Amino acid sequence: MPLKVRRNRSPQPPPSCPLTECMGIIGGAWTVNVIWSLRAGPRRFSELRVDIPPVSPKVLTARLRELEARGVLRREVKPTSPPSVEYSLTALGGELVPAIEAIVEVGHRLKGSPDAPVANA
Amino acid sequence: MPLKVRRNRSPQPPPSCPLTECMGIIGGAWTVNVIWSLRAGPRRFSELRVDIPPVSPKVLTARLRELEARGVLRREVKPTSPPSVEYSLTALGGELVPAIEAIVEVGHRLKGSPDAPVANA
DNA sequence: TATTGAGGTTTCCGTTTGGTAACCAGGAGT
DNA sequence: ACTCCTGGTTACCAAACGGAAACCTCAATA
């Protein structure tokens, strides 16, 4: 009797496709919103929460840590009282802004969610 | 005794933020790869599977349907035998290409996955 | 008659994701 | 002695997402 192939395969190394890989970082919830908020200058944690109301602190922290680790933004603790933390785009992060602008631009012309109620339907 | 707030809230209407909304469509698995594959001309279902080997038929179908519904691509059945189906970008879909190019461009310079093994580590 | 190829659909299932709520530390202000 | 503010962290949980495998129709071909 032939043995079945077991399906508990260990996760394979990512295919290192730059497109797939880059979408892995851009694609997280609220990631682009964070970059968008920072494009006009540095923001603190609580300011970002105001800019993007539905984001939870947990996710915002996660996104900021990821973006910092990838060199998109930098994190600076200011010796104020209470100490505040300022996030700002790096040069690399700045390069993402036009790309996101392009997406927003097209986004305006996309048809809405397919199952969303349409005017006059 | 005060009643607890129940958490079975019905899903709220999307905030209709063009950025968030557009990322909702771009962000699905393999979506950008599909657009990327179509940028050079029309492709059939099975050709797309060759272009993007790890995509499963289920997900590929889902992505094609979504992109069609939002006017990014069009689907044409050709009366060959067996009938074949050709997918091609619309003008709107074409506008996404430079945006994706920009992302890929920056993606090249992003640091890799934070917990990925680094050369000499 | 069986097989092949196109273009899917369906079911099942595990992992990942993100939301909620609660909690925490340290210093400043009242 | 409290309370507030900043900037988080943690545990828990439900839903969504995507992969695997099996199955399907129709026509042409071997």
Contacts of B55 in chain A (CB under 8 A): none
Q: Which residue has the higher pLDDT, A23 or A13?
A: A23
- Best B19, B70, B105 member to test A by mutation, with max A CBs in 10 Å, is B19
Contacts of B25 in chain A (CB under 8 A): 110
pLDDT at B51 (0 to 100): 95
pLDDT at B113 (0 to 100): 67
* CA–CA distance, B115 with B121 (Å, rounded to integer): 11
* CA–CA distance, A75 with B4 (Å, rounded to integer): 39
Phi/psi of residue B107, nearest 5 degrees: -55, -35
pTM of the full predicted structure?
0.85
pLDDT at B13 (0 to 100): 47
Point out the least confidently predicted range of A3-12, A73-82, B103-112.
A3-12
B56 touches strand D (CB under 7 A): yes
- Best A20, A106, A108 member to test B by mutation, with max B CBs in 10 Å, is A106
Cβ–Cβ < 8 Å for B110, A22:
yes
Q: Identify each DSSP E strand in chain A by its residue range.
A: 43-44, 73-78, 84-89
Burial per residue of B80-115, b for 16 or more beta-carbon CB atoms within 10 angstroms, e otherwise: eeeeeebbebbebbbbbbebbebbbebbeebeebee
pLDDT at B57 (0 to 100): 97
Q: What's the pLDDT band for B59 if we cut at 50, 70, 90?
A: very high
* CA–CA distance, A101 with A104 (Å, rounded to integer): 5
pLDDT of B58 over the 50 cut: yes
Q: Which residue has the higher pLDDT, A55 or B103?
A: A55
Q: What's the whole-number mean pLDDT along residues B106-120?
A: 67
Determine the residue type at A96. L
Phi/psi of residue B6, nearest 5 degrees: -80, 150
A3 touches strand D (CB under 7 A): no
